[in-house]
Structure 1
Amino acid sequence: MRHDVVVIGAGVQGCAVALRLAQAGKDVLVLERSIPGAEASSAAGGILSPGVEAVEPGPFYALCRASLARYPALVREVEAATGVAVGYREGGTLEVALEDDHAQLLAARAERLERQGLPAEVLDDAAARRLEPGLSPETRGALFFPDEASLDPRLLSRALYLAARAAGARFQTGQVLRIVHEGGRAVAVEHDAGRLDAGAVVLAAGAWSALVPGSGLPRGAVRPVRGQIALLDTRQRLLSRVVFSDKGYVVPRADGRLLCGSTMEEVGFEKAVTAGGLHRVLGMALELAPALEHVPVVETWSNFRPASPDGAPVLGPSSVAGLFYATGHTRNGILLTAITADAVAAAVLGQPPPVDLAPFSVERLAPRGA
Structure 2
Amino acid sequence: MSLIVLSIPLFFVLIGIEWLAGRLRGRRVFRGTDVFANLSLGAAQTVFGAVAAGLLAGAYVALYSVRLFEIPSTSVWAWALLLLGTDFCYYWFHRVSHRTHLGWMAHAPHHQSEDFNLSVALRQGPVQPFFSRAFYLPLALLGFPPAMFATAVALNTLYQFWVHTELIDKLGPLEWIFVTPSHHRVHHACNGRYLDKNHGGMLIVWDRLFGTFEPEREPVTYGTVEPVRTFNPLLAAWRPFREAVTLVRKTPRIWDKIRFWFMPPEWHPPGVEPAHLDVPPGRPRFEVYPSRRVVLYMAVVGILTLLVTVLFLFRGGALSFPVKLAFTAWFLASLGGLGGVLEGRRWARWVEATRLAVVPLALAAF
More relative contact order in 1 or in 2 (CA 8 Å, sep 6+)? Answer: 1
Identify the structure with the greater strand proportion.
1
Q: Please indicate the TM-score interval, normalised by the length of the shorter structure.
A: under 0.3
Q: What TM-score, normalized to structure 2?
A: 0.24
TM-score normalized by structure 1?
0.24
Task: Decide which structure has greater helix share.
Answer: 2
